[in-house]
Amino acid sequence: MSQQANCPNCGAAIRFRWSGAVQTTCEYCRSILVRRDVNLEKVGQVADLPPDVSPIQIGTEGVYQDKAFQVVGRILYDYKDGAWNEWHVIFQDGKSGWLSDSQLEYTVSFLGTAPEPLPQSGQINHGRKFNWNGTTYDVTSITRANYRGVEGELPFEYWDKEHATFADLRTEDGRFATIDYSDDPPLLFFGASVDFDNLKFKNLRQLDRLGGGEKTAVAGLNCPGCGAALSISAAGHTLTVACPKCHSILDAKDPNLQVLEKFQARQAIDPLIPLGSRGKLFGTEYEVIGFQERTTDVEDVPDSWLEYLLFNRYKGFRYLTEYKGHWNFVQTVPASPEHVRSGKKGGVRFMGRTYKAFASALATTTYVMGEFPWRVHVGEKNGTSDYIAPPRILSNEITEGESVWSLGIYMPGTEIWQAFQLPGQAPAARGIYLNQPAPFAGQASSMWGASFKWLWALIFVAILFYAFAGRETVFEKRYSFSPRSGAEASFVTDTFEVRGHPSNVEVSISTDLDNAWAYFSLALINESTGQGYDFGREVSYYHGRDSDGNWTEGHRNDSAIIPSVAPGRYYLRVEPEMGKEAMSMLYTLEIKRSVPSAAFFWIGAVLLLLPPLRATWRVAKFESKRWSESDQAES
Amino acid sequence: MRHPLYAIYGVLILGFIGFAEYNGWSLTRVNEVKNIPRTVRDNPGAYRSHYAGYYRYFGGK
């Protein structure tokens, strides 16, 4: 069949974007047309589709894994918590795929082959694991959906459906699979979650980037409970609205805003960021549309944090959480992180990063205000588990058997104030928050790197000194001494010249002592100034054999360093001394100037290591305080 | 440079060590004596060393 045909119902021209299309719809009379051999046959009529809040439309183009695609058709479903589109996309190589947008979260998937028979819809349950092609997939949600209509070109006939069940599965790294029970046997699709920006869309529907578009304008309403003016910015996505005046929770899907419940607030809470505020975070403009307080009650001590719901019509929902001046920018992640051991603690692995288990608690929603894309309920309890890899936090919430993971990144309050142009200053952060980055963490590691460079520099300087130090022998002479001779022991050496700049002088004594000791009273005296350096050195050397074997003690040689000796002519006064029982000894005196000393290099090494050691200590102290708040034992 | 203060600190440390080594500084101290009479040259026994008679135990094992 050619790329063009005529509608058998109204005669309008039908132009196919994809030659493989089995079904299409007439844009004029909205007939559902199916290819029968070379002809088009009308098989049904498209019902009026509900107002669309998706930015995608037939003809939208994008890129996935470096391949361009075009949207050529769609199937629309709804379920108890909203609606979603399965957009049929055709890639430049003719391959057919599916782009799903559910609450502005996007996945791309392709029909795959199950390596094993798939379970029937009644046999599948949340948490069940499948291993396909070496990858583990967890069932994260099972959705009973209603077929709401079709549009454009599809790769199969799809027009007479009512209900369909879908099981969504995730991997720890964001890969995705769906078991589609709308057909028998069920179909299996493999794909991945994709960020809006990465899809590089063109030809999107022109929507107000925040508030809505032609069909999704901000709705101005009045609370049926108190008459207060309300607005719905995320029309089409919002399921409940909480009136900030009378605390009624309203059904946003009901044209009359039916009151679902009314809660008693302990006290009204003024959000630090007012509802309706707009701010740019990470390059995207968001509007604050909802606010809730959630409270844990550990050992009868209530502890609350605040959550601000942010909305962008193209990129969906994000959250800002605030606890004692600590802020996190949070978004849900379509993944099922793998549980691992992280050191002695439990943890999870997500996108190549390990997060340590920090705390688990039961959180209760205690205050709500504004719009929510879920059926918010004060008093609702969710199990929460937090895993940290500062500045990131990965949180898991379990609700009615559904497991939702979200990824947060720590933000200073000043950045929030700047982004939303809030008056005044952000409240100062108190205490240490679980994923607050240690202020010296980066500093410590980089300082260690710098310290090793300085240590290399120090070694280089040491090598230079040892290589080029003078070690100039200025005097050397051999003497003998006998204590039994009765002669005056003291004597002075010949004078010798110490040249050059002030430097140290090393006086070395080498003896032939054998099981004897000697003591030398020494004075290095400047011949012209009379300035002297007075010092003594003992030398003793003993050896023998006992029941433990051979032993030795002491040395026959010794030396002394005289610091900073000015140049000039010197002589040495020597007064040897030995025990009266000793016979005699021969000894040599050697005097050298400018002898390198290792002591200062060792001191330098220690001094260079002090700053990184201090930074590391501060990090350790910070981490100790952080983990003191954890319910994860260190052991 | 990520740590300018540490860089200054490192330069000071290396400079100090270089200066100390060049000038022969030492951690050990010797007794400095001023105005030793020239007669010591002729009569060494007249000089009283600070360390003379400083007897120690030198016995072996």
Of the residues A458, A474, A521, the best mutation for testing chain B's interface (the one with the most B CB atoms within 10 Å of its CB) is A521
Residue whose C-alpha is closest to residue A127's, from A149, A115, A142: A142
pLDDT at B61 over 60: no
The answer to whether the Cβ–Cβ distance between A457 and B14 falls below 8 Å is yes
Give SS3 for A332.
Answer: strand
Residues A65, A191: Cα–Cα separation, whole Å: 11
Q: Please give the pLDDT value at position A216.
A: 42
Q: Report the residue from A446, A536, A561 with minimal CB separation from B2.
A: A446
Q: What are phi and psi of A452, to 5 degrees?
A: -65, -35
Q: How confident is the model at residue A177 (pLDDT cuts 50, 70, 90)?
A: very high
CA–CA dist A233, A14 (Å, integer)? 37
In the structure, what pLDDT confidence band is assigned to residue A211 with cuts at 50, 70 and 90?
very low
Answer yes or no: is pLDDT of A629 > 90. no
The answer to whether the CB of A476 falls within 8 A of the CB of A539 is: no
> In this complex, is the C-beta atom of B48 within 8 Å of any C-beta atom belonging to chain A?
no
Mean local confidence (pLDDT), A274-281: 96
pLDDT of res. B58: 53
Say whether A615 sits in a helix, a strand or coil.
helix
Residue of chain B nearest A593, judged by CA positions: B24
Confidence check: pLDDT of B57 > 60: no
CB atoms within 10 A of CB A259: 16
The CB-side HSE value for A413 (13 A sphere, CA atoms) comes to 17
A274 bridge partner residues? none
Closest CB to B35 among A488, A530, A604: A530
Residues 6 or more apart whose CB falls under 8 angstroms from that of A461 comprise A601, B14, B17, B18
- The one-character DSSP state at A154 is B
Name the more confident of A37 and A445: A445
- CA B7, B9, B12: angle at the middle one, nearest 5? 110
pLDDT at A635 over 50: no
Q: pLDDT value at position A213?
A: 42
pLDDT band at A212; cut points 50, 70, 90: very low
Tokens of A92: 């430049």
Q: Residues A244-261: what's their mean pLDDT?
A: 87
Asked whether the ipTM of the predicted complex exceeds the cut of 0.90, the reply is no
The average confidence (pLDDT) of chain A is 90
pLDDT for B55 equals: 52
- Residue to substitute from B2, B8, B26, B43, interface A, most A β-carbons within 10 A: B26
The 10s digit of each residue's pLDDT in A16-46 is 888 888 899 998 888 999 988 778 888 888 8
Cβ-defined contact of A517 to B58 (cutoff 8 Å): yes
Query: DSSP secondary-structure letter at A374?
Result: S
Give the closest-approach CA distance of A574 to chain B in angstroms. 8
> What's the CA gap between A323 and A327, in Å, rounded?
7
CA dist., res. A518 & res. A433, Å (int): 68
Q: Which of B10, B24, B51 faces A521 most closely, judged by CB atoms?
A: B51
pLDDT confidence of residue A370: 94
- 0.80 cut: is pTM over it? no
Report yes or no: A340 and A354 within 8 Å, Cβ to Cβ.
yes
pLDDT class for B36, splitting at 50, 70, 90? confident
Q: How confident is the model at residue A1 (pLDDT cuts 50, 70, 90)?
A: very low
DSSP-derived letter for residue A547 is T
Residue A93 has pLDDT above 60, yes or no: yes
Span A96-141, pLDDT tens digits: 999 999 888 899 999 999 888 899 888 888 888 999 988 889 888 8
- pLDDT reading at A50 higher than 50: yes
User: Where do the H-state alpha helices sit in A87-183?
Assistant: none
Interface with B, mutate which of A472, A499, A519 (most B CBs under 10 A)? A519
- B54 in contact with A, Cβ within 8 Å: yes
Q: What is the pLDDT of residue B28?
A: 83
- Give the lowest-confidence range in A396-410, A602-616, B14-28: A396-410
Res A209 pLDDT > 50: no
Q: Tens of pLDDT along A538-564?
A: 999 999 999 999 999 999 999 999 999
Q: Which residues are paired to A586 by β-bridges?
A: A480
Q: How far is CA A173 from CA A83, A191, A233, A333, A373, in A?
A: 26, 12, 32, 10, 25
pLDDT digits (tens, 9 = 90+) for A347-391: 999 988 999 999 999 999 999 999 999 888 899 999 999 999 999
Note the pLDDT tens digit of each residue in A138-157: 888 888 999 888 999 999 88
Report the pLDDT value the prediction gives residue B53, as an integer from 0 to 100.
54
A-B C-beta contacts closer than 8 Å: 165
CB contact under 8 A, A560 and B9: no
Give the residue from chain B lying closest to A601, CA to CA: B17
Q: What is the mean pLDDT of residues A5-22?
A: 88
Distances A71 to A6, A29, A108, A177 between C-alpha atoms, Å = 21, 21, 12, 20
pLDDT at A442: 78
pLDDT at A210 over 70: no
Beta strands in A196-298 (DSSP E): 219-222, 229-232, 240-242, 248-251, 259-262, 278-281, 284-298
A340 beta partners:
A347
Rounded distance, CA A609 to CA A600, Å?
A: 14
Window 28-47 of B, Cβ < 8 Å to A: 28-38, 40-41, 44-45, 47
For residue range A560-596, what is the model confidence (pLDDT) as tens digits?
A: 999 999 999 999 999 999 988 888 999 999 999 999 9
Considering only residues A214 and A346, tell me which one the structure prediction assigns the higher pLDDT. A346
pLDDT grade for A342, boundaries at 50, 70 and 90: low
- Over residues A499-528, the mean pLDDT reads 95
**Interface-testing mutation among A461, A529, A535, A571, with chain B (most B C-beta atoms within 10 A):** A535
